A and B are shown apart, each in its own frame.
Chain A
Amino acid sequence: MAENSMITLKIDGVQVSVLEGTTILKAAKDNGILIPTLCDLEGLTPYGGCRLCLVEVTGSPKLFPACTTPANSGMEVTTNSERLKSYRKMTIQLLMAERVHMCAVCVANDHCELQALANQLGVNHVVLERHFTREPIDSSHDFLVIDRNRCILCLRCVRVCDKIEGVHTLDLKNRSKDTEVIMDLDESWGNSCSCTGCRKCAKVCPVGAIYIEGEAITQTKHRDVAEFITARRNNR
């Protein structure tokens, strides 16, 4: 079968063999090459939203998101050029400038993927003037809280709610910088009739936008929950 045939490509000069249909991100990861990501999460449908995993493919002037681009036979991929590094730094800065990202006063301080990537990539200041949003925090739910000022719109919560929990309580409204995660038809969370309170959105949120009231962040965050459930389902 075509899906099972192996293909070979080069990632950062290293020859690798993967199953046809594998994404560049997975192919790299399986061969020990880590590409920075924020929106990607094992077990969820790739979305290609955060643009951190952009890679260069020899012969194309375009950059490709590694999480949504299938590896092709004979491809030569570069994952960590100076150009990509500078773009990734700028992407982090754009994310930090778009809403209120002040680590010291955030529930997810020290357990935040955006913060970790900023530190790792050496983004030690934001050159852009920051935009300060003022969205009211919705704590109307019994225990789930959303602070949209910290949201980076990675849509992990929307995808985990749809694909893993199968409910699709969460979705988006508006466009561009005004985009917001909403519950049902823009209800407050406490009034949402479809939310099952499964907490998966809080578990996978890479930042401190969705959290559980009165619970330590280390207890809340289980970012492998989607991978775990998907694997169990496939085995069954």
Chain B
Amino acid sequence: MSTTNTVIADCNSSSSSKVRVATVWLSGCAGCHMSFLDQDERIVDLAKRIQVVYSPLVDVKEFPEDVEVTLIEGSVANEEQLEVLKDVRAKSRVLISLGDCAVTGNVTALRNSWENSDKEVLERAYKSSEDLQAAVPNMVPKLLIRAKPLHEVVKVDFYIPGCPPSADLINYVLTELLAGKTPNMEGKAKYG
């Protein structure tokens, strides 16, 4: 961790470049991104020091190389997300699980109690609860049998639980990382 933080500090101190930050939206409700925006006027200060190079909030299609900090919202629930997550991990120095879905699976993982949940939830959503033209769509990525928290698939550096995570905590973590420090999460994070 200390090496990653040094990298960020180095990057931050050089006047020419801003710290490259990305946010990713997997299986979640976008509430964590709302919390990110809830940093309100503090975003203006952040914007002076970071560059958002990839995010549902900006129009970039491909996840770029050499991202310093990536915040990921949502669990890994389908095969596409599985690939995206591995790709993002490979291209990010610091990866942060943002919010309960990324940290625990949360609502998206409730289906895990069913043995064939990948099939059963689709049947339930598109067939048994529909009267007209009931059919499971076949052009969407295949669901994984279990929705998983990020750290069950890749290495995660920091966890910000919460549904949604508090804007203050997101701001604290980003500010600390930008200052080249390791955020101390003890007693700060809150599930649910």
Contact = CB atoms under 8 A, between A and B. Distances in A.
A57 interface: no
Given A104-B163, A124-B185, A125-B104, A132 B113 contact: yes
Given A125-B104, A125-B156, A126-B104, A100 B187 contact: no
B100 A122 contact: no
A119 interface: yes
A115 interface: yes
Interface string A189-215: 000000000000000000000000000
A102 B104 contact: yes
Contact of A149 (B113, B114, B151): B113
A122 B113 contact: no
Nearest to B191: A103
A124 B159 contact: yes
Nearest to B158: A124
Interface of A is mostly: loop
Most chain A C-beta atoms within 10 Å of own C-beta, residue among B104, B105, B110, B187: B104
B190 interface: yes
B95 to A, nearest CB: 13
A102 B110 contact: yes
Contacts of A84: none
Interface string A96-109: 10001111111001
B24 to A, nearest CB: 18
Contact of A104 (B112, B186, B192): B192
A118 interface: yes
A102 B106 contact: yes
A133 interface: yes
Given A124-B189, A129-B152, A104 B159 contact: no
Contact of B192 (A106, A132, A133): A106
B180 interface: no
A149 B112 CA distance: 13
A122 B191 contact: no
Interface residues of A, number: 26
Contacts of A124: 103, 159-161, 185, 189
A104 B100 contact: yes
Nearest to A99: B113
Contacts of A127: 151
Contacts of A112: 192
Interface string B159-179: 111010000000000000000
A125 B113 contact: no
Given A102-B100, A103-B163, A132 B109 contact: yes
Interface of B: 97, 100, 103-107, 109-110, 112-114, 146, 149, 151-152, 156, 159-161, 163, 185-187, 189-192
Interface of A: 96, 100-106, 109-110, 112, 115, 118-120, 122, 124-127, 129-130, 132-134, 149
